[in-house]
A and B are shown apart, each in its own frame.
Chain A
Amino acid sequence: MGIITVLWEKWVEFRRDFYKITVAAMISPLMYLIIFGLGIRTTSHGQPYITFLVPGLVAMVTMTGSFGAIAQSMSVQRLYEKALDQVMVSPTPLWQFILGQVLGGSLRGLYAAAVILILTIPVRHGLIFSWLSVVIMILNGMVFATLALVLSFLAKTYSDAPRFNTYIIMPMSFLCNTFFSTEEMPDGFRQLIEIMPLSQASGMIRSISFGETPELMGIVILLAYLMILGAISVFFVYRKKNL
């Protein structure tokens, strides 16, 4: 099965760069936790701010972890190493290659989330993370891994990968329900931000962590993103004239 082959390749990558990946997954969220959660002690919705922040950070790292794992690796493989040629000429069905990349990327995001959850254990935030939280993390990771695939197929130079990060991932990290609620945003802009996948994932993970029932429409929205981006990446890998 081609999916297993790609997961194996992702495992080789993960095993080799275990320490680098782990440290990279920790640094930014740890800084945000220290600065916003512990340094600037405040409250949100009558609760310590850190209880608002942790679920947002967990959703955020599933995004950055998954996106980073695929965008960087695929851009390098396609444009610099030309290692994608090896896959293209092989009998492994390309949809399986795509699915393997998406799952592999999502697992990297999940790993990053696990690292954050372990790091926040001493804070005793009392938040709840259930199996549904894990499903949402995986789904969010899959959406951003697929987005990374689409963008890496569009990349023309190796330096495009960091640019995508600056144009898409960084604004989403700050705007999409990670650090502050979208409730206070002006109309129009608020709706635009709320429809973003990270806003949905953050909102649902946060609701679960507060012991509330999440708005499951978010899962439908994430699935819609996944299907659209998945269809684009499959189209690219089968139909794009010059890969």
Chain B
Amino acid sequence: MIEIRDLTKKFGDFTAVDGLSFTIETGEFFGLLGPNGAGKTTTISMLSTVLLPSSGEIFIDGTRLTRAASEQKRKLAVITQEYSMRQDMTMDEVMEYQGRLYYLPKKEIKRRSSQLLEFAGLSEYHRRTVRHLSGGMKRKLMICRALLTEPEILLLDEPTAGMDALSRRQMWNLLRQVNDRNMTILLTTHYIEEAEALCDRVAMINRGRLQKLDTPSALIEELGRFTVDETGDGTLTSRHFSSREEAIRYLESAGTDASLRTTTLEDVFVECAGRKIT
């Protein structure tokens, strides 16, 4: 279980994360959703201890997470937004380095590494240096590296950023599989459909502050499952309704430039943050 209590991070006068508090249960697939600059990466960086909070605390299974908390860190693995790897190492070396950092026996590193690289379709490139891999291959390698240590908690910072549609779907399937093994996952994303497809619960943050936290369906339900969009004078206005009948009644009374659709998480976010996500 991850417990975040009143977490704040300031860079000079700028507050990137502002009093964030929430709890992620063991085995939960939790999404941190927000626009660029919302504070998602800063939150992940504090969870991975690269950044230390200005105030507030993080607890992993009841114990405070610090840079010296080796037992807590053993449970964690991070897939960062950037390709955070030694560029001059081969895939095998990247995996071995990770295994060694987590005190895995060499035989175990080799066994798991070859399984994971095979699973990710990277086996034939295992001697290739990271510098010479494509972006997609680097992303897959980062996932293999994170899974090598069989973490209890996986922190994913925009894992599908820049991926094509097919690779993104493959990634989603993989994440569902590891989550089914009771792995706790914290995913940051600014892709609404990703959060909707994967997450048990979603925390919406904007300008470092928590705006909403619930299951995707509950958040949509709360706003109203149906939306009527009206365009006029170059502006788009959306109205939300809890029943289809209500929405249709409004649609009939509205002008011709109006349409009915189901509400999405993005609508929820726009309502609470007043800012479009993507």
Contacts and interface: CB of A to CB of B under 8 A. Distances in A.
Interface of A: 2, 4-5, 8-9, 12-13, 16, 77, 81-94, 237-243
B249 to A, nearest CB: 54
B84 A2 contact: no
B66 to A, nearest CB: 8
Given A13-B88, A81-B87, A242-B11, A88 B50 contact: yes
Interface string B117-148: 00000000000000000000000000001000
Interface string B75-102: 0111010111111110001001110111
B50 A241 contact: no
B80 A241 contact: no
Given A77-B86, A81-B86, A83-B85, A89 B68 contact: no
A15 to B, nearest CB: 10
A231 to B, nearest CB: 15
A2 B76 CA distance: 17
Contact of B102 (A90, A93, A239, A241): A90
Given A12-B93, A16-B88, A238-B68, A92 B50 contact: no
User: Lowest 9 A-B CB distances belong to which pairs?
Assistant: A82-B84, A90-B101, A91-B74, A5-B100, A91-B70, A89-B48, A85-B84, A91-B73, A241-B52
Contact of B101 (A81, A91, A243): A91
A189 to B, nearest CB: 39
25 contacts: A2-B101, A4-B100, A12-B93, A13-B88, A81-B84, A81-B87, A83-B84, A84-B50, A85-B50, A86-B84, A86-B101, A88-B48, A89-B49, A89-B50, A90-B98, A90-B101, A90-B102, A91-B101, A92-B102, A92-B103, A239-B52, A241-B51, A241-B52, A241-B54, A242-B11
Contacts of A89: 48-50, 73, 76-78
A70 to B, nearest CB: 15
Contacts of A93: 68, 70
A82 B80 contact: yes
Contacts of A16: 88
A5 B101 contact: yes
Contacts of A90: 73, 98, 101-102
Contacts of B96: 8
A92 B101 contact: yes
Given A4-B100, A81-B83, A81-B85, 11 more contacts: A16-B88, A83-B85, A85-B84, A89-B48, A89-B49, A89-B78, A91-B103, A92-B101, A241-B54, A242-B11, A243-B50
Contacts of A77: 86
B98 A86 contact: yes
B93 A88 contact: no
A5 B76 contact: no
B67 interface: yes
Nearest to B96: A8
B71 interface: yes
Contacts of A237: 67
B74 A242 contact: no
A88 B54 contact: no
A87 B51 contact: no
A91 B251 CA distance: 58
Nearest to B97: A9
A238 B67 contact: yes
Given A90-B101, A237-B67, A243 B77 contact: no
Contacts of B70: 91-93
